[in-house]
Structure 1
Amino acid sequence: MQFTSIDFETANAKRHSPCAIGIVVANEHEIVDEFYSLINPLVEFSSFNIAVHGITPSDIADAPTFSEVWPTLHSYLAGNLVIAHNASFDMSVIRNTLDYFQIAYPEMDYLCTANISKKVWPDLMNHKLNTVATHHGIAFEHHHALEDARVAAYVFQHAMRHYDGGVDTLLNNCNMRKGRIFDHGYTTPKMKKATRRQRIYL
């Protein structure tokens, strides 16, 4: 089963200020496609965010706006399973930016690799992307949108291999269900409620 891994960088603290997007399409075994673009957010940059990702106003001067790049992003996201590390951030960037530009939401399922990592590797000191990457021997340039998306894809692949199965096997073992974005609404990924039999043996 293919999935799409995404990562946004933002110009400031506002969730409608994406200035870069990284997308990686993968399956259980390999990466099959990648996409990266700077985005002109049409808003001011904060010095804090520049210090995090290194993207400056001059870098995005000739970059497409979100509205201009959205048809490409939509083709990667709509109807697919989308993952991100700390997905609540990236999904809020999608929703808030679509709201800002008055664009309809795509229909898509999504999962958070940070939450999955907490279930699969509970003994790590924390479950930040760089910590989980180090645990798996993955070197990367943190806070570059494409590299972060690629590492999240690797983490998801490792999690599926941990249970020797695919997405459904992973979710069953983690006792999780997918979140979903739909026409101007969303539901977050949730833990399934334990059945009476499961509670007895917990």
Structure 2
Amino acid sequence: MRVSSYRFFALDVETACSDVASICQIGIACVKSDDMIQTWSTYVNPRTHFSPFNSRLHGIGPAHVTDAPDFAEAIALVEPLLARHHIIQHSNFDRRAIHGAHALIGRKAPPWTWGDSVRIARRAWPEFIGNGGHGLAHLKRRLKLTFVHHDAGEDARAAAEVVLHAEKRTGQTFEAMLFSAGQVR
């Protein structure tokens, strides 16, 4: 995999329970320089309980993660690559989860450059404010995206597609939309 061939990554996580650090799945969408998207996902053993609510939401339970790597092992696979690119999340949840999971293993979260596809969507489709909003479920319908909601790999891909659609609609790069909207690096 050539590092220079990626423009940005979109990242999504699913959690086992209400503890934001209880990551049980990580998904990454890798957006290549030609805007093609490759996805990668893995289950993660959160080493904690699963709440019935979360399991109903995403369909992941203890049996799915029995032989999965824990967070430290899973993040080690992708951390070097993520450190060199913008990382897009859809809302602030994923960043908080990554920071929480790092704290849980006694490590400081890496100083990645985060961006939010919700902010990008608000710039591209201001008419959705008060008219369905900028959540993935609404954007799925309005932009005719095809994905399985609450699967980390699929949601990461959807966030990446939102960014690409927004770039086409506005004629601006995702960086221009993020940083003109006051996004913090």
What TM-score does the superposition give when structure 1 sets the normalisation length? 0.81
Q: What displacement does 1:39 show?
A: 0.2
Structure 2: runs of 5 or more not aligned: 1-5
* Aligned match of 1:156: 163
Greater share of residues in helix: 2
| Superposition map of 1:90-129 within 5 A | 90-124=94-128, 125-129=132-136
> CA shift at 1:15, angstroms?
1.0
Q: Aligned partner of 1:41: which letter? A: P
Distance (whole Å) between structure 1 residues aligned to residue 168 and residue 176 of structure 2:
10
Superposed CA RMSD in Å reads: 1.7
CA distance in 2, matches of 1:52, 1:101: 26
Instruction: Report the secondary structure of 2:109's partner residue.
Output: coil
Structure 1 runs of 4+ aligned residues shifted over 6 Å read none
Are the structure 2 counterparts of residues 74 and 18 from structure 1 closer, same or farther at C-alpha, using a change threshold of 3 Å? Answer: same
CA distance in 1, matches of 2:120, 2:172: 15
Query: Is the Cα contact below 8 Å between 2:37 and 2:157 reproduced in 1?
Result: no
Structure 2 equivalent of residue 74 of structure 1: 79
Q: Do 1:28 and 1:166's aligned partners in 2 also have CA atoms closer than 8 Å? A: no
Which residue number in structure 2 is paired with residue 187 of structure 1? none
Give the letter aligned to residue 101 of structure 1. Answer: I
Residue 36 of structure 2 is aligned with which of 18, 26, 31? 31
Q: How many residues are treated as equivalent by the alignment? A: 177
- Looking at structure 1, the residues matched to 40 and 27 of structure 2 have their Cα atoms a distance apart, in angstroms, of 6
Task: Give 1:138 shift.
Answer: 1.0
- When Rg is computed on C-alpha atoms for both structures, the one with the higher figure is 1
